[in-house]
Amino acid sequence: MSVEPTTQPAAAAGTVTLGDLTVNRMGFGAMRITGKGIWGEPADRDEAKRVLRRALELGVNFIDTANAYGPEVSENLIAETLHPYPEQLVIATKGGLRRPGPGEWRRDGRPEALREALEGSLRRLRLERIDVYQLHSVDPVVPLEDSLGALVELQRQGKIRHIGLSNVDSRQLARARELVDVVSVQNRYNLADRYSEGVIDACERNGLPFLPWFPLDVGQLAEARGRLADVAASHGATPAQVALAWLLRRSPVTLLIPGTSSVEHLEENVGAASLELTDADFDGLSRAAGAAL
Protein backbone atom coordinates (compact mmCIF):
# COMPACT_ATOMS: atom_id res chain seq x y z
CA MET A 1 0.00 0.00 0.00
CA SER A 2 1.34 3.47 -0.83
CA VAL A 3 0.58 7.02 0.18
CA GLU A 4 -2.10 8.20 -2.19
CA PRO A 5 -1.33 11.34 -4.22
CA THR A 6 -3.65 14.29 -3.64
CA THR A 7 -4.11 17.40 -5.73
CA GLN A 8 -0.67 18.82 -6.58
CA PRO A 9 1.02 16.45 -4.06
CA ALA A 10 4.52 17.65 -4.96
CA ALA A 11 3.74 20.87 -3.10
CA ALA A 12 3.08 19.09 0.20
CA ALA A 13 6.72 19.20 1.31
CA GLY A 14 7.08 22.95 0.93
CA THR A 15 9.52 24.93 -1.17
CA VAL A 16 13.17 25.95 -1.48
CA THR A 17 14.73 28.93 -3.21
CA LEU A 18 17.52 28.90 -5.79
CA GLY A 19 18.58 32.50 -6.19
CA ASP A 20 15.37 34.23 -7.21
CA LEU A 21 13.59 30.98 -8.14
CA THR A 22 11.22 29.18 -5.78
CA VAL A 23 10.36 25.53 -6.45
CA ASN A 24 8.63 22.67 -4.67
CA ARG A 25 10.98 20.43 -2.69
CA MET A 26 9.75 17.38 -4.62
CA GLY A 27 11.31 17.63 -8.06
CA PHE A 28 12.08 15.13 -10.80
CA GLY A 29 15.40 13.78 -12.03
CA ALA A 30 15.33 13.06 -15.76
CA MET A 31 18.32 10.72 -15.91
CA ARG A 32 16.27 7.53 -16.21
CA ILE A 33 14.09 8.54 -19.14
CA THR A 34 16.98 7.31 -21.29
CA GLY A 35 18.11 3.82 -22.27
CA LYS A 36 19.77 1.14 -20.18
CA GLY A 37 22.92 2.42 -18.52
CA ILE A 38 21.76 6.01 -19.14
CA TRP A 39 22.69 5.44 -22.78
CA GLY A 40 20.57 5.89 -25.89
CA GLU A 41 16.82 6.13 -26.29
CA PRO A 42 14.41 4.79 -23.65
CA ALA A 43 12.90 1.36 -24.16
CA ASP A 44 9.43 2.96 -24.13
CA ARG A 45 9.61 6.49 -25.49
CA ASP A 46 5.88 7.11 -25.08
CA GLU A 47 6.01 6.11 -21.41
CA ALA A 48 8.98 8.41 -20.84
CA LYS A 49 6.96 11.30 -22.25
CA ARG A 50 3.98 10.35 -20.10
CA VAL A 51 6.25 10.46 -17.04
CA LEU A 52 7.29 14.02 -17.84
CA ARG A 53 3.72 15.20 -18.41
CA ARG A 54 2.47 13.44 -15.28
CA ALA A 55 5.23 15.01 -13.18
CA LEU A 56 3.90 18.45 -14.01
CA GLU A 57 0.32 17.35 -13.31
CA LEU A 58 1.43 16.26 -9.84
CA GLY A 59 2.88 19.68 -9.11
CA VAL A 60 6.54 19.09 -9.90
CA ASN A 61 8.03 22.39 -11.06
CA PHE A 62 11.74 21.51 -10.98
CA ILE A 63 13.33 19.10 -13.45
CA ASP A 64 17.00 18.15 -13.29
CA THR A 65 18.82 16.80 -16.34
CA ALA A 66 22.26 16.90 -18.03
CA ASN A 67 23.76 16.83 -21.50
CA ALA A 68 25.44 13.54 -20.48
CA TYR A 69 22.13 11.71 -19.95
CA GLY A 70 21.77 9.66 -23.10
CA PRO A 71 23.88 11.61 -24.02
CA GLU A 72 21.51 14.39 -25.13
CA VAL A 73 18.46 12.09 -25.05
CA SER A 74 17.01 13.41 -21.79
CA GLU A 75 17.21 17.06 -22.82
CA ASN A 76 15.69 16.33 -26.23
CA LEU A 77 12.78 14.41 -24.66
CA ILE A 78 12.07 17.18 -22.18
CA ALA A 79 11.80 19.77 -24.95
CA GLU A 80 9.83 17.49 -27.26
CA THR A 81 7.32 16.74 -24.50
CA LEU A 82 7.01 19.95 -22.50
CA HIS A 83 7.98 22.87 -24.73
CA PRO A 84 6.63 25.55 -24.64
CA TYR A 85 7.28 25.29 -20.92
CA PRO A 86 4.87 26.42 -18.21
CA GLU A 87 6.00 29.70 -16.69
CA GLN A 88 6.61 28.18 -13.24
CA LEU A 89 8.77 25.29 -14.48
CA VAL A 90 12.49 25.46 -13.66
CA ILE A 91 14.82 23.27 -15.72
CA ALA A 92 18.31 22.64 -14.40
CA THR A 93 20.95 20.95 -16.51
CA LYS A 94 24.67 20.23 -16.26
CA GLY A 95 27.91 20.18 -18.19
CA GLY A 96 31.35 18.83 -17.41
CA LEU A 97 31.07 15.09 -18.10
CA ARG A 98 31.62 13.35 -21.43
CA ARG A 99 30.14 10.00 -22.46
CA PRO A 100 32.47 8.16 -24.86
CA GLY A 101 30.34 5.03 -24.55
CA PRO A 102 27.86 3.12 -22.35
CA GLY A 103 28.97 3.07 -18.73
CA GLU A 104 31.69 5.67 -19.33
CA TRP A 105 31.69 9.03 -17.55
CA ARG A 106 34.74 11.23 -18.11
CA ARG A 107 35.28 14.63 -16.54
CA ASP A 108 35.88 17.55 -18.84
CA GLY A 109 35.90 20.93 -17.15
CA ARG A 110 37.84 22.79 -19.83
CA PRO A 111 36.29 26.19 -20.54
CA GLU A 112 35.86 25.41 -24.25
CA ALA A 113 34.15 22.10 -23.42
CA LEU A 114 31.76 23.78 -21.00
CA ARG A 115 30.89 26.48 -23.52
CA GLU A 116 30.15 23.83 -26.13
CA ALA A 117 28.08 21.82 -23.66
CA LEU A 118 26.06 24.87 -22.65
CA GLU A 119 25.32 25.85 -26.23
CA GLY A 120 24.17 22.31 -26.96
CA SER A 121 21.85 22.27 -23.96
CA LEU A 122 20.32 25.60 -24.96
CA ARG A 123 19.66 24.24 -28.44
CA ARG A 124 18.19 20.91 -27.31
CA LEU A 125 16.05 22.41 -24.54
CA ARG A 126 14.91 25.23 -26.88
CA LEU A 127 15.87 27.89 -24.39
CA GLU A 128 17.70 31.18 -24.57
CA ARG A 129 18.84 30.89 -20.96
CA ILE A 130 19.33 27.96 -18.56
CA ASP A 131 17.72 28.62 -15.18
CA VAL A 132 20.27 26.60 -13.20
CA TYR A 133 23.44 25.36 -14.93
CA GLN A 134 25.53 22.99 -12.82
CA LEU A 135 29.16 22.00 -13.12
CA HIS A 136 28.62 18.24 -13.28
CA SER A 137 31.93 17.37 -11.65
CA VAL A 138 35.18 19.09 -10.79
CA ASP A 139 37.88 18.13 -13.28
CA PRO A 140 41.10 17.34 -11.39
CA VAL A 141 43.31 18.47 -14.30
CA VAL A 142 41.52 21.80 -14.83
CA PRO A 143 41.69 24.55 -12.19
CA LEU A 144 38.29 25.13 -10.64
CA GLU A 145 38.80 28.83 -11.30
CA ASP A 146 38.96 28.13 -15.04
CA SER A 147 35.84 25.95 -15.14
CA LEU A 148 33.76 28.33 -13.06
CA GLY A 149 35.20 31.34 -14.88
CA ALA A 150 33.75 29.98 -18.11
CA LEU A 151 30.32 29.63 -16.50
CA VAL A 152 30.50 33.15 -15.08
CA GLU A 153 31.28 34.52 -18.54
CA LEU A 154 28.30 32.64 -19.99
CA GLN A 155 26.18 34.01 -17.17
CA ARG A 156 27.29 37.54 -18.06
CA GLN A 157 26.24 36.83 -21.63
CA GLY A 158 22.73 36.04 -20.40
CA LYS A 159 22.89 32.33 -21.20
CA ILE A 160 22.90 31.13 -17.57
CA ARG A 161 20.62 32.50 -14.88
CA HIS A 162 22.17 30.73 -11.88
CA ILE A 163 25.20 28.48 -11.31
CA GLY A 164 25.11 25.25 -9.31
CA LEU A 165 27.62 22.55 -8.40
CA SER A 166 27.55 18.77 -8.44
CA ASN A 167 29.79 16.11 -6.91
CA VAL A 168 31.83 18.43 -4.71
CA ASP A 169 33.29 18.12 -1.24
CA SER A 170 33.13 20.77 1.47
CA ARG A 171 36.48 22.27 0.52
CA GLN A 172 35.52 22.58 -3.16
CA LEU A 173 32.19 24.12 -2.22
CA ALA A 174 33.89 26.71 -0.03
CA ARG A 175 36.39 27.59 -2.75
CA ALA A 176 33.65 27.81 -5.41
CA ARG A 177 31.63 30.18 -3.24
CA GLU A 178 34.63 32.50 -3.14
CA LEU A 179 34.56 32.62 -6.94
CA VAL A 180 30.88 32.61 -7.92
CA ASP A 181 27.40 32.95 -6.50
CA VAL A 182 26.52 29.26 -6.05
CA VAL A 183 22.78 28.56 -5.70
CA SER A 184 22.68 24.77 -5.26
CA VAL A 185 24.70 21.59 -4.71
CA GLN A 186 23.92 18.13 -6.05
CA ASN A 187 25.78 15.16 -4.51
CA ARG A 188 25.21 11.45 -4.04
CA TYR A 189 23.36 11.04 -0.75
CA ASN A 190 20.75 8.72 0.71
CA LEU A 191 19.79 6.99 3.93
CA ALA A 192 22.57 4.41 3.49
CA ASP A 193 25.26 6.68 1.98
CA ARG A 194 25.87 9.79 4.06
CA TYR A 195 29.36 10.72 2.91
CA SER A 196 28.14 14.24 2.09
CA GLU A 197 26.89 15.09 5.59
CA GLY A 198 29.36 17.98 5.84
CA VAL A 199 28.24 19.37 2.49
CA ILE A 200 24.58 19.28 3.54
CA ASP A 201 25.45 21.08 6.76
CA ALA A 202 27.30 23.75 4.78
CA CYS A 203 24.33 24.12 2.43
CA GLU A 204 21.98 24.51 5.36
CA ARG A 205 24.18 27.18 6.97
CA ASN A 206 24.27 29.13 3.73
CA GLY A 207 20.70 28.56 2.57
CA LEU A 208 21.66 26.53 -0.50
CA PRO A 209 19.32 23.80 -1.75
CA PHE A 210 20.92 20.35 -1.62
CA LEU A 211 19.88 17.86 -4.33
CA PRO A 212 20.64 14.24 -3.37
CA TRP A 213 21.17 11.92 -6.31
CA PHE A 214 20.60 8.17 -6.01
CA PRO A 215 18.16 8.95 -3.17
CA LEU A 216 16.71 5.41 -3.19
CA ASP A 217 19.96 3.41 -3.15
CA VAL A 218 19.35 2.10 0.38
CA GLY A 219 20.92 -1.37 0.14
CA GLN A 220 20.09 -3.85 2.90
CA LEU A 221 17.94 -1.29 4.69
CA ALA A 222 15.16 -2.20 2.26
CA GLU A 223 15.06 -5.84 3.36
CA ALA A 224 11.61 -7.16 4.22
CA ARG A 225 12.28 -7.32 7.97
CA GLY A 226 14.40 -4.19 8.23
CA ARG A 227 13.69 -0.94 10.01
CA LEU A 228 12.74 0.76 6.74
CA ALA A 229 10.07 -1.85 6.05
CA ASP A 230 8.74 -1.56 9.60
CA VAL A 231 8.37 2.21 9.37
CA ALA A 232 6.76 1.89 5.94
CA ALA A 233 4.21 -0.59 7.28
CA SER A 234 3.35 1.66 10.21
CA HIS A 235 2.50 4.50 7.79
CA GLY A 236 0.83 2.43 5.09
CA ALA A 237 3.60 3.57 2.75
CA THR A 238 6.31 1.92 0.69
CA PRO A 239 9.97 1.68 1.75
CA ALA A 240 10.87 3.99 -1.14
CA GLN A 241 8.48 6.63 0.13
CA VAL A 242 9.92 6.41 3.62
CA ALA A 243 13.47 6.74 2.28
CA LEU A 244 12.45 9.90 0.43
CA ALA A 245 10.54 11.26 3.42
CA TRP A 246 13.68 10.73 5.54
CA LEU A 247 15.65 12.90 3.11
CA LEU A 248 13.03 15.64 3.26
CA ARG A 249 13.16 15.51 7.07
CA ARG A 250 16.98 15.45 7.10
CA SER A 251 17.25 19.13 6.18
CA PRO A 252 14.89 21.94 5.17
CA VAL A 253 17.18 22.69 2.19
CA THR A 254 16.73 19.23 0.65
CA LEU A 255 15.35 19.33 -2.90
CA LEU A 256 14.50 15.80 -4.02
CA ILE A 257 14.98 14.69 -7.63
CA PRO A 258 14.07 10.97 -7.70
CA GLY A 259 14.04 9.64 -11.24
CA THR A 260 12.07 6.91 -12.95
CA SER A 261 10.88 5.80 -16.37
CA SER A 262 7.50 4.65 -15.01
CA VAL A 263 4.40 6.71 -14.27
CA GLU A 264 3.50 4.29 -11.48
CA HIS A 265 6.84 4.79 -9.76
CA LEU A 266 6.66 8.53 -10.32
CA GLU A 267 3.33 8.72 -8.50
CA GLU A 268 4.74 6.60 -5.67
CA ASN A 269 7.78 8.87 -5.34
CA VAL A 270 5.79 12.10 -5.39
CA GLY A 271 3.44 10.66 -2.77
CA ALA A 272 6.36 10.77 -0.33
CA ALA A 273 6.03 14.56 -0.17
CA SER A 274 2.97 14.19 2.06
CA LEU A 275 4.47 11.51 4.32
CA GLU A 276 5.42 12.91 7.73
CA LEU A 277 7.82 10.81 9.79
CA THR A 278 7.75 11.00 13.58
CA ASP A 279 10.86 11.87 15.56
CA ALA A 280 11.10 8.20 16.53
CA ASP A 281 10.86 7.13 12.87
CA PHE A 282 13.58 9.53 11.79
CA ASP A 283 15.93 8.77 14.66
CA GLY A 284 15.42 5.02 14.37
CA LEU A 285 16.12 5.02 10.64
CA SER A 286 19.19 7.18 11.13
CA ARG A 287 20.57 4.80 13.76
CA ALA A 288 19.77 1.71 11.69
CA ALA A 289 21.48 3.20 8.67
CA GLY A 290 24.50 4.18 10.73
CA ALA A 291 24.81 0.65 12.08
CA ALA A 292 24.64 -0.77 8.55
CA LEU A 293 27.44 1.47 7.21
Report helix, strand or coil for 171. Answer: helix
- Residue 41's SS3 state is coil
The strand pair at 182-188 and 210-213 is best described as parallel
Q: How far is CA 62 from CA 89, 140, 153, 164, 273, in A?
A: 6, 30, 25, 14, 14
* CA-to-CA dists, residue 193 to 134, 214, 247, 265, 273, angstroms: 22, 9, 12, 22, 21
Of the residues 69, 85, 133, 189, only one is catalytic, namely 69
Known active-site residue 69: yes
| 173 CA to centre of own chain | 17
Q: How far apart are CA 127 and CA 182, in angstroms?
A: 21
Q: Which residues, 6 or more positions from 249, have their beta carbon under 8 angstroms from its beta carbon?
A: 277, 282
Residues classed as catalytic: 69
